[in-house]
Amino acid sequence: MIGIQAVKSGSISFWDFPAEIVEQILPEIELHRDLVNFACASRLCSQLVIPRHTQYRTLRIGTKTSAHIWAHLVRRPDLACNIREIELHTARHRRGPSSLIEAIDLEKRPWEVQEEEIIQALRPMRRLKSFAWEHRPIRPTPPGLDQKHFPPMVLDILHQIGTVEHLFLYMDNSFRFNQPIEECGLWKMSKLRSLVLSGTHEDWPSASRSNVIISRNWLNSLTSLEVLDIARGIFREHHEFLCFPKLRYLKVNYADNNEVVMNFLERHPSIQELTWNSIWNFLPSSKLPSNFLPKLRRFVGRYDFFEAMASKTQIDQGEPRQFETLTLTSLLEEGYFDDLYACPGIDHHALRILCLSNKDWNVHKLAAAFPMLEELSLPSRDDFDFVRQLLVRYRTI
């Protein structure tokens, strides 16, 4: 206990607190660099956070190689409770604990047992913020791995935890729920700030009319959503009914109809970052509404859409657009190069990152047009003189 004299004199130090209070304080250190700084303060500090916190904050592991991790976490809920971020990939991609793991016999372990252990390991993760599950087929299929089986209870547990703000599900056409879709815990997760439902599974989760209504009501409940990336089929089914007042980032995986996407964009003036490869021959700038996407700072897509936005700003005599990042995915004809150099309606000094698909650019004109660039990405070319000129002209790159 903390002594009365220490309280009166104001000389309480961190080490005067009971161990159980210290254990409650350390999980509040969110950033890895802050954990490292704390560990560097003394040997005792390092013993408190290494590896219990430094190795048990992020899991990026493969679904076919992670059975021992889940079995370990089931046995150590005191470590599982520190995890903030989980990414499960079918590929070999690992960032997870390497210390405090005991030897476990996993020979001939069926997938059903692994599924149950995933669910059990998730329960103590009361500080989990981000969950990603990538469901891609593995060829050849590893023994004991049912690739058509997604554990639906995972989403139920994530709902019960109540702290998940970022959800990423990548699903191919083999993805199936093995429970009635209306019972899925996904529909109860209304506090999400980031949602990615991508992949090739066109019909999920809109296999029937009742499911369309369920999924639409859920999407409309996500009033805090800031990041959205949903599959083509889901966008096609729901686009005209959705509105997210806090949306900052949008990736559109739908190029069947420009006007459909434009109607969605008009309802979301809060968007700051947009990724969308529109159909060729985009709507002319005169068809764009006034003050279209006024907060847009980062854009990935076709040049014609970018030009339409910039031209509309000039026509309306508004403030130049403050693009910070620009990635043009379409190849430009040579006549358009000068149009980009002198593009009206944008603040050329605001641009920091520029990615182009053509390689025959004039370094001097690029440097004059965008003098404050910090990153420039061009297709590779065997031209040392071009690189030399680039480095001379851009001292900040």
When mean pLDDT is compared over 12-21, 265-274, 312-321, 376-385, the highest value belongs to: 265-274
Which pair of tokens denotes residue 22?
Answer: 């210290």
For the stretch 248-283, pLDDT in tens is 999 988 767 778 888 899 999 999 999 998 765 556
| Maximal C-alpha separation, the chain | 80
- Which domains does the chain carry? 1-54 (no CATH), 57-98+111-247 (3.80.10)
Percentage above 90 pLDDT, the chain: 27
For the stretch 213-241, pLDDT in tens is 888 889 999 999 999 998 877 888 888 88
